[in-house]
Amino acid sequence: MYPIVVFLLDGLGDRAHELLGGRTGNEAAATPNLDALAARGSCGLLYAVGPGRAPSSEVAHWSLLGYRPDEFPGRAVFEALGRGQEVSDEHVFAYAALRPAERRDDGWWLTGRPDPERDAEEAERLVERCDGIEIEGLMFSLAHVWRGEAILRISGGADERVTDSDVFSARGSRCSGPSRWCRRRSAPRARARSGRAR
């Protein structure tokens, strides 16, 4: 058996720009090492969930492993298992992330992510302060991962249909609220699935 190395250039996708002669940043860049690897290996294009759709990284990675999107248990479930937490169908999991924002004339705008060094302690303190909040019988437990990101465990009879409020961009994005999610899950394991709360 031969070892296989997969280089996954997550987030490399870009748009062509006239300043680069109609090329993308990747097309215009000098990439001798990537070129050498590509010449010695196999390259291809994969639509993780279909042409024209931009899935989250974790859903795209899941697809690369040959699984269907509807089988994806959610990033938070994997994060919890990877940190030795018990996962059961009595809890709902979400991957929560703090994002800096600033008030502008037309609303709140996300301005990036917490700096892994400068903001690390403050982000961890904020996550700790939010841990253990109880609202209407639901308990919200947070376990800090890094850089203001955390595993959110909701107990007390929460509904697993967590909506996604990720604006899908790290910088200069208008804050958006959760959208209504109407698709029902039929699988009994659905409660152990997770969403993403941002």
Using the 8-state DSSP alphabet, how is residue 163 labeled? Answer: P
Instruction: Note the pLDDT of residue 162.
Output: 65
Q: 39-58 burial, b for 16+ CB within 10 Å, e for fewer? A: eeeeeeeeebeeeeeebbeb
Percent share of the chain, pLDDT over 90:
11
pLDDT tens string 45-90:
778 888 887 777 888 888 888 888 788 888 888 888 988 888 888 8
d(CA 158, CA 127): 20
Domain ranges of the chain: 73-197
The CA distance from 12 to 34, in Å, is: 13
**Rounded CA gap, 25 and 10, in Å?**
15
Matching residue, tokens 């940190």: 83
pLDDT at 182 over 50: no
The mean of the pLDDT values for the chain is 77
